[in-house]
Amino acid sequence: TAFCAGLSPELVDGDADDWTYDVSTPLLAATSSVMPEALQRRLVSFLSRGGRLLFTPVLPAFDAWLKPCSILRDLLGAPGETRAPEDAVLRFRGMESVYTSGLALTTARPPDGATVLGREQSGGGCAAWMKKMKGGGRAIWLGMRPIWPSSSRP
């Protein structure tokens, strides 16, 4: 689908700074609750320069040493996530009944100034949101893990 939309993925070195200056290419970050502080700072820099970031399924709350570190979450003003039921069905703008096949997360509300893009059908929790940043950047949170076809799994 990304190729049909004209997006060509590139891998970036999370330990380098060079990619934070290329705001012409959107960035997908597969995130967990643990992320090195330096990488969180690079993502913040990328967004503040006007970059577009899609991250899924959670925002980091700890650094690589498991010490509290929520630099990215704090910038976005994002509330904590709650696990949705295993059989959660999500609804997005223009799409009905997206089945998650596993992990789905929601928030009670989106961050201040963010637009809701999707909700969990039974409980109504926010399952996706987009926030425009100062400097022109955009962050999109998608509260579900990507599910890859079994033929493409490593």
Q: What is the pLDDT of residues 54-98, one digit of tens each?
A: 988 888 999 999 999 999 999 999 888 887 777 777 778 777 777
Tell me the pLDDT of the chain averaged across its residues. 83
Amino acid at 27: L
Quickly state the pLDDT bin for 7 (edges 50, 70, 90): low
Query: What percent of the chain has pLDDT above 90?
Result: 37
Statement: residue 147 has pLDDT above 60: no
3 state DSSP class of 76: helix
Per-residue confidence (pLDDT) for residue 34, from 0 to 100: 95
Per-residue pLDDT tens over the stretch 82-93:
877 777 777 787
pLDDT at 9 > cutoff 80: no
The answer to whether 30 and 146 have CB atoms below 8 angstroms apart is yes
Which run of H or E residues covers position 34? none
The per-residue pLDDT for range 105-136, each reduced to its tens digit, is 888 888 999 998 888 877 788 888 999 998 89
CB 143 within 8 A of CB 81: yes
Token look-up 């913040």 returns 44
CA 50/CA 46 separation, integer angstroms: 7
The letter for the amino acid at 84 is A
| pLDDT exceeds 50 at position 152 | no
